[in-house]
Structure 1
Amino acid sequence: MNRRLLSLWRIPAGLAVGYLAWNGTHPAILMLALAMPLLVMNSPSRATAGLTALAYYLGSAWDLPHGAAVFFGDNLGSGLLNTAGSYALWLGASLALSLPWWALWTSQSQWRGLRLLLALVLVALPPIGIVGWAWPLTATGLVLPGFGWIGLGLMAFWLVFLASMPASKQAMSVLLAALSFLIFLPVALVQRHDPAPLWQGQDTQLGWGSGSLYWVEMYEHTQALKTYIQPLAPHHNLLLPETVGGEWQAILPLWRNESARLNAQHSTVLMGVRQTYPQGYDNCLAAIGQHQGIKYCQRVPVPVSMWQPWDQATSAHPHWFSQPVFKLGNQTIAPLICYEQLLVWPVLQSFLHHPDLILASGNSWWSRQTHLPQIQIKAVHAWGRLFGVPVVTAMNY
């Protein structure tokens, strides 16, 4: 049988690797993602390489069509039109991510490693990086905890080395990859997270209404949030999920007394809020208590649903490369709001500033019946583990 036909096993293997690595229950299974670049670049043809990469990205975001259909609602149309639009987003983003792998594939082993490296860079950075989830090197934190930038470089070098081995040594390449997996597996299975002294995150069950700009029940909603805050001990800080605070200027009077109490006990509560303008809005983290005010605005709002460049009146403002960290007292904080936790360049940009803490908030009411919230948390914990930085998460469901 033709060798290229025999190699088609790579396509379902890519799908399985993408699905298991990102949707698997145990965090250690994310290690499988490191096999993706080798599966793709060692393919015998460009078509097989491109289809294997496409299958990997489709598998990694398997739940996206269901979540998108809930998230967008009638924005993509109703009924079958909404379903078709959700699948189109899933397929379109996966195609965009697979294109660099297809374009950079080569049959010349001496160039294969460098092209693998270039493909990793292209899917991590804008413009493709705007949908750059499921980056294989995210798994580096599981196997090289605390190694930071050096660990990222070592893992990239190892993949380049394995991919560059000539066809006559493919068996050796597979053996070395399998041995490295077995060596690193015990490290990945030990799931220890660095503690975040004086910080805690609070998940909520506020559902769809969270984040609406026009709550009829705004007062009752704020009172419900206060029940999470009142037990907070002096000198401790709390993170609440994305957008649960509502419209910042509207809620400020409702928090005046609570904010004064928190300030007196030297505590800070950070919550997700919106700041609305005549044209569009910012999706932000704001503080009450000590250091009150807007601290961070999301760099990468979700494309299509939040960031709508064709309609500035309703679009969330992207802040792209601005303000990757902020100061809270003597701590440097790296904030990641929801969608940013899935991407690469916002995370790496924040780590250029040597943060002391990662605050990861999200609003997952639309995806609570999928693996997507767990994928976000898995990714951000892997990054924190790689750089030895504590992670505090807060999700609304």
Structure 2
Amino acid sequence: MCCDYLRPALLIFASIAIGVVGWNGYVLLLPVALGFPVLWSMSRTRLVAALVSASYFLAASSGLPQGVAAFYSSDIWPGLLLWLGASMSFVAVHSVLWTNSPNDRPFRHLLATVIMAIPPFGITGWAHPLTAAGVLFPGWGWWGLGFMTAGIAGLVTRIWPAVAIALTGLWLWSAAIWTDPKLPEGWQGVDLRMGASLGRDTGLQRQRDLIATVRNAASDGARSVVLPESALGFWTPTVERLWTGVFSDGNPMVIAGAALVDAGGYDNVLVVIDGKGEHVLYRERMPVPGSMWQPWRSWFGASGGARADFFANPVVSIGARRAAPLICYEQLIVWPVLQSMLHDPDFIIAVGNGWWTEGTSIVAIQRAATTAWSKLFAKPLVVAFNT
């Protein structure tokens, strides 16, 4: 009788450890997440599989309650509710598709892997083990993603120890020769430490400070400077005239986050400012569900919230080159980056405004995930975050 409870307890504790270690913000530890499929396959009942799935997901996203509390300046309860609510899709998919049949298990888990990578379930598809492909198969591109998928399927079969040994060997080799992604030539991302005031302080002095920051980057040789998400705040005609007037000579080109507001809501965007003027470069495909993207408001005739452009503008043209932009939340899920990679961009631009994540590893996880995808497809990477 004791063993009947001991095995599930060990699986649950191991799943928690894998979630915490694999998603702590260190890119080279992402392959630890591949332990989850093994534990899922070891579950002897659907209930245990559900508990293992919940333990992994909740541990991997454990910074969410504290972050949400900081974002809304409230107590921990809204964050806890969102944390638990977001886990439901992950748990439901892995519970429904669990099977005790060894022959069906690889197909079932492969199906769960695909479902959690694409909408609608992929909207909350955080902590996806596929992200580790960039660590195990750097530079392999779609072949690496295919081998990673096959490896995950192999981890839920009877030969999982042999598959795990092979993947561990690749992991150790990759860690031994690891280098961070390169910057595109002439580009520089600027990290800011302006906290919650970024995007909310609409004063002229704040804009002048940001302009000075861009000029400092240009003095170091950057021809293109990227500022974080929401750096410019609301993109109004006044802000537009100020920035285009300063950088009308086109030196340097500036790409910065802003918000375009109208009566129906707003778009979280990147704007580009150069010698030709300005224009919206990119509209965020997947804003943060709940805090930004609130589709239920329209059901009751209300407006507001960020618009989701889902599969729009996966790549953008910047001069003669093409970039894959990823804004904040898009770095935590799978489908936006894979959609962009289908168009073979020249490099990746990753921006975020993570002031609300202080005391958590959320920004570090975003950086680690983006770095992994950049390495998998051998794409240079420009990163700009505010904390």
TM-score, normalization by structure 2: 0.93
Structure 1 pair 222–67 and aligned structure 2 pair: CA distance change class (3 A): same
**1:207 equivalent in structure 2:** 195
Structure 2: which amino acid aligns with 1:10? L
Whole-Å separation in 2 of the counterparts to 1:218 and 1:349: 37
Equivalences for residues 1-397 of structure 1 within 5 A: 1=1, 4-8=4-8, 9-23=10-24, 26-73=26-73, 78=74, 82-165=75-158, 172-195=159-182, 196-212=184-200, 215=201, 218-231=203-216, 232=218, 236-249=223-236, 250-261=238-249, 263=250, 265=251, 267-290=252-275, 292-311=278-297, 312-397=302-387
1:305-345, Cα deviation, whole Å (9 max, x unpaired)? 11122335221111111111100011110000001000111
Q: Tell me the SS of whatever aligns to 1:332.
A: strand
Between stretches 285-294 and 229-238, larger displacement belongs to: 229-238
CA offsets, 1:91-122, max 9 Å, x none? 11112212111111111111100111000011
Q: Are 1:50 and 1:99, in contact at CA under 8 Å, matched by a contact in 2?
A: yes
Identity across aligned pairs (percent)?
A: 38
Which range moved further: 270-279 or 82-91?
82-91
Q: For residues 65 and 141 of structure 1, what CA distance do their matches in structure 2 show? A: 28
Q: Are the counterparts in 2 of residues 219 and 254 from structure 1 also a CA contact under 8 Å?
A: no
Report if aligned partners of 1:341, 1:376 keep a CA contact under 8 Å in 2.
Answer: yes
Measured in 2, the distance between the counterparts of 1:360 and 1:337 equals: 6
Displacement of 1:126 in angstroms is 1.2
Distance in 1 (CA, whole Å) between partners of 2:356 and 2:105 is: 40
Structure-1 separation of matches of 2:225 and 2:59: 35
Q: Cα–Cα, structure 1 residues 28 and 194, in superposed 2: closer, same or farther, change >3 Å?
A: closer
5+ residue gaps, structure 1: 166-171
1:85–1:23 Cα change, 3 Å: same
CA distance in 2, matches of 1:305, 1:176: 40
Q: Which runs of 5+ in 2 are unaligned?
A: none
AA partner of residue 267 (structure 2): D
Distance 2:386 2:138 in 1: 28
User: How far apart are 1:255 and its partner, in Å?
Assistant: 1.2
Shift of residue 28 of structure 1?
A: 1.1
Q: Distance in 1 between matches of 2:63 and 2:176?
A: 25
Q: Which amino acid aligns with 1:83?
A: I
SS where residue 196 of structure 2 aligns? Answer: coil
Question: Structure 2: which amino acid aligns with 1:316?
Answer: A
Matching residue's letter, 1:268? M
Q: Distance in 2 between matches of 1:202 and 1:191?
A: 24
By how many angstroms is 1:229 displaced?
1.2
Read off the aligned partner of 2:305 and give its amino acid letter.
Answer: S
Q: What is the deviation of 1:207?
A: 1.4
CA shift in 2, pair 1:5/1:363, >3 Å:
same
Q: Structure 1 residues 162 and 308 mapped into 2: Cα distance closer, same or farther (>3 Å)?
A: closer
Structure 1 residue 175 displacement after superposition: 4.6
CA contact (8 A) 1:258 1:289 kept: no
* Alignment partners' CA distance in 1, 2:254 and 2:283: 16
Q: Which amino acid aligns with 2:77?
A: A
Equivalent pairs, count: 377
Q: How many Å separate the matches in 2 of 1:61 and 1:242?
A: 22
Letter in 2 for 1:368: E
Q: Distance in 2 between matches of 1:224 and 1:107?
A: 61
Secondary structure of 1:248's aligned partner: coil
Q: CA deviation at 1:161?
A: 2.6
* TM-score for both structures, normalised by structure 1: 0.91
Q: Deviations for 1:25-65, whole angstroms, at most 9, x for unmatched residues?
A: x4211110112112112322211111111100001011110
Matched AA of 1:359: I
Counterpart secondary structure, 1:31: helix
1:7 Cα deviation after fit = 2.2
What amino acid does structure 1 have at the position aligned with 2:291? S
| CA–CA distance in structure 2, aligned partners of residues 190 and 64 of structure 1 | 33
What are the Cα deviations for residues 193-228 of structure 1, in whole angstroms up to 9, with x where unaligned?
A: 33221111000112112122xx4x521001110111
RMSD of Structure 2 on Structure 1 (CA): 1.7
Q: CA deviation at 1:3?
A: 5.4
The one-letter code sitting in structure 1 at the alignment partner of 2:285 is R
AA of the residue aligned to 2:181: D
Change (3 A) 1:290 1:112: farther
